Amino acid sequence: MPVLSANLGFPRMGANRELKRQVEAYWSGKIDASALLKVAHDLRKDHWELQKNVLGLDIVPSNDFTFYDHVLDHAFTVGAIPMRYREVFIKTNDDSLPCALEGEFLSTYFAMARGFQQLPSDGSECPVVDLEAMEMKKWFDTNYHYIVPEFHPDQQFKLTSNKFLEEYKQAKSLGIETRPVLIGPVSLLLLGKTSPNCPVDFEPIQLLEGLLPVYEEIIKHLAEAGACSIQFDEPCLVQDLSPKAAQSYHVAYSCLSTAAKKCVKPIKLHLTTYFGDIIPNLSLVLPNLPIDGLHIDLLRAPQQFETILDAAAKHPNLQLSIGVINGRNIWKTDLSAAFETVKKAVTVLGADRVIIAPSCSLLHTPHSLDAESGLDPEIKDWLAFSVEKIKEIVLLTKAANNGIDCIKDELEANQRSIQIRRTSSKTHNPTVQERLKCITRDMMHRRSTFDKRWVKQQEIFNLPRFPTTTIGSFPQTAEVRKARAAFKRGEISQEKYTEFINDEIKKCIQLQEKNDIDVLVHGEFERTDMVEFFGEHLKGYIFTKNGWVQSYGSRCVKPPIIYGDVYRPNPMTVEVAKYAKSLTKKPLKGMLTGPVTMLQWSFVRDDQHDKLTTQQLALAIRDEVSDLEAAGINVIQIDEPALREGLPLRHSEWKEYLNWSVDCFLLASCSVADTTQIHTHMCYSDFYDIIDAITRMDADVITIENSRSNLKFLRGNESFTYPNEIGPGIYDIHSPRIPLHEEMEHRLEEMLNRLKRNSIWVNPDCGLKTRKWNEVDLALKNMTDVAKKFRSKNC
């Protein structure tokens, strides 16, 4: 049998974000469920046929499609549906399960993801139904967000959805044999959390014995349908594991292997790891797990190759899948170097035991370069999106089976691209390099300690207790997007576009003043994205037209590409901030994105250490901070939501990363006078385990997501008193529901029990970009009402 080519997962949204548009049309009532299901059916068909029939891939994944999130899909599939959603939506008799994801099940699914609120017909505030969304969290160290499953000690698992089976059958009906993708049972439990009010000693991994029968049933259904193998994703194997979690892998895969062998036609189990190395946990996998295949990520962890290759050689029936194509970045692969890795694997194991694959799912890269007609041709030649990456996999597979000469022309073209990029003057700027050499420790310290700064700032701002603010963005309506698109196409002038943006800013200021917000923002209507906007004003970046990747649900982002040294040629936000400040007598925040987030949410150059790129970004932001201050903007927010996201997956590597990443934030923020108030914002990660690093950032005010995660940040830091001022989010902005007074009062009461009373700010969890104006108006009114109530209570 020859070397095989494989993909671990394909982008879901479609070449032109078809899924995004149709899901949002369904949410707004413009299409019904049958129309949405038809779009999904057609997209899956297109993606399978593209990978198999057009690109020539041997192993094509199925069940990698999702309407919102693949982790939510799996929680739903195994019946981990919290009772608060079941009671409202699911009326189907359990005997009819498993069911397709439609009807009441589709309504339940989206309520879990987004929340659900049904108001009475009489217009009163008290909802008939009011369900908050489940917690959302970053997927390992990526900018993708997953819905966190909830588990409780009495959890009863039951096969609830047949999505995995229906999608396999759909592909089979097209003549395409696929490998269904499942999140492995151990990782599914480890990625989850305990339901509210669970015993403190309960851990979801304790539920493994009850979960495994559902996975056995899934294996049985797929085998009966004709599946030959199943991909079990176990990314938690690249993390530090507790003894209980480590033991669980042998229990789980012994059980699943037995189930696979009992099938009429035995089915192979392919264990997939990514985002790091499994060497510290290798003894759990080889020789102990009865698996048929193992995938390893050789882009994030090339150092594990030799050790795992030696271990795999001792297991004559094991296939080794080597991730030699980067599934998380957009640079063309050095095919010559990758082929050497492939050749060594084939030499040691034999061709029939080697699979060539991306390092991880291609979920994290855009669909194709085909639509990118406006890129600098030289730089475009350095790039590879998902379709191009599959072409690289197929080329390497062809070379492995037929000899390197059969791809001679393609290899020569590839090597030219690699060499041109390596030596291009576009990637290196001597002035930037010299400035990096001038960085000193003194540039990373404020002039005075926080207590002294606070006195000076309060003399200027005179803020009340429980000051209110928002995180930055306000609704990006269809009108805003239409005007921006018209301006970019040259259909309206700069003058007309500026006039439109200024009108939106004025509307935003007026709404905030109407609702008595204390520290205002301008709304960010001129910005497509909090990273892309700044990248457009910096040198060293390029931008795609259609390079979208999924962030969460229907939300897509278009990460800019850092191809060379970064610097700021001109001020980026000063004029807009000055205009907004002229409209109000209240303090107004200048809004910036921090250097670490600029790095993490871009496609980053891979020819130098991330620390150097982040320092370049920090110097650019530092220049902008200084110019804002000089223009009279004396409250400046530097968002760093991705600081935690970039944290290495193993604790032993945390210290180095946190040292340089916090230093870069300080480099960006510490040029200002004591009277200038520096804010930062963080969201959708577990921050309680890096609280010392957050404290070292020395921001005057930090606002932090806290509501959707049900106050987890506060509860994780019960013994810690944050030294500066802090605004844990008081309501979730990713749900269309309007937060009630009572729930925000409850959250503020909890904050008072855990934080210094004179340090608390009142704000939403995150920016308001995805919400509608009427939702924002009502939510902010309720929020400021609560702040005023607590001031009047003299809390």
Rounded to whole angstroms, how far apart are CA atoms 695 and 779? 30
Place of tokens 């108006």: 777
In contact, 33 and 106? CB cutoff 8 Å: yes
Numbered residues of the known binding site for 5-methyltetrahydropteroyltri-L-glutamate:
20, 143, 555-556, 601
**Contacts (Cβ under 8 Å, ≥6 apart) of 292:** 229, 268, 269, 270, 317, 318, 319
Widest Cα–Cα separation across the chain:
80
Q: Which residues are catalytic?
A: 734
The whole-model pTM stands at 0.91
List beta partners, residue 678: 636
In contact, 535 and 560? CB cutoff 8 Å: yes
Burial string for 532-555 (b: 16+ CB within 10 Å, else e) reads bbbbeebbbbbbbebbbbbbbbbe
CA atoms within 13 A on the CB side of 24: 14
Give 689: exposed, middle or buried? Use CB within 10 Å, 0-12, 13-18, 19+: middle
SS3 sequence of 744-772: HHHHHHHHHHHCCHHHECECCCCCCCCCC
- Structure tokens given for 346: 């084939």
**Contacts (Cβ under 8 Å, ≥6 apart) of 238:** 273, 274, 275, 276, 277, 278, 281, 297, 301, 649, 650
Numbered residues of the known binding site for Zn(2+):
681, 683, 705, 766
Backbone angles phi, psi at 540, to 5 degrees: 100, -5
- Structure tokens given for 751: 């904050």
- Structure tokens given for 58: 């041997």
Look at the chain and count its residues: 795
Place of tokens 């309407």: 67
Rounded to whole angstroms, how far apart are CA atoms 479 and 484? 9
Rounded to whole angstroms, how far apart are CA atoms 44 and 12? 8
- Within 10 Å of residue 317's Cβ, how many Cβ atoms? 9
**Contacts (Cβ under 8 Å, ≥6 apart) of 15:** 367, 368, 370, 371, 546
Numbered residues of the known binding site for L-homocysteine:
471-473, 639
- Within 10 Å of residue 373's Cβ, how many Cβ atoms? 10
Burial string for 568-584 (b: 16+ CB within 10 Å, else e) reads beebbbbebbbbbbebb
Rounded to whole angstroms, how far apart are CA atoms 509 and 570? 26
Rounded to whole angstroms, how far apart are CA atoms 379 and 417? 9
Numbered residues of the known binding site for L-methionine:
471-473, 524, 639
- Within 10 Å of residue 762's Cβ, how many Cβ atoms? 28
Q: Where are the alpha helices (DSSP H) in 80-184?
A: 83-89, 104-114, 163-173
Backbone angles phi, psi at 547, to 5 degrees: -85, 55
Backbone angles phi, psi at 316, to 5 degrees: -60, -15
Residue by residue, DSSP assigns 269-324 as EEEE--SS--GGGHHHHTTTS--SEEEEETTT-GGGHHHHHHHHHT-TT-EEEEEE
Burial string for 454-472 (b: 16+ CB within 10 Å, else e) reads beebeeebebeebbbbbbb
State the pLDDT at residue 734. 80
DSSP 3-state of 381? coil
pLDDT along the chain (795 residues), means of 10: 96 97 96 95 98 98 98 96 87 58 81 88 71 92 95 95 96 98 98 91 96 98 97 98 96 97 93 97 94 98 97 96 98 98 98 98 97 94 98 98 96 97 94 96 97 96 96 94 93 95 97 98 94 94 95 94 97 97 97 97 96 98 98 97 92 96 98 98 77 94 81 60 90 87 92 89 93 95 96 78
Give 403: exposed, middle or buried? Use CB within 10 Å, 0-12, 13-18, 19+: exposed
Amino acid at 743: E
Q: State the first-to-last Cα distance of the chain, in angstroms, to the nearest integer.
A: 74
In contact, 128 and 111? CB cutoff 8 Å: no
Numbered residues of the known binding site:
20, 143, 471-473, 524, 555-556, 601, 639, 681, 683, 705, 766
- Residue 460's region, left for phi above 0, alpha for psi from -120 to 50, else beta, is alpha
State the pLDDT at residue 21. 96
Rounded to whole angstroms, how far apart are CA atoms 672 and 638? 13
**Contacts (Cβ under 8 Å, ≥6 apart) of 26:** 32, 33, 35, 36
Place of tokens 């692969």: 333
In contact, 121 and 132? CB cutoff 8 Å: no
In contact, 619 and 444? CB cutoff 8 Å: no
State the pLDDT at residue 688. 73
State the pLDDT at residue 712. 60
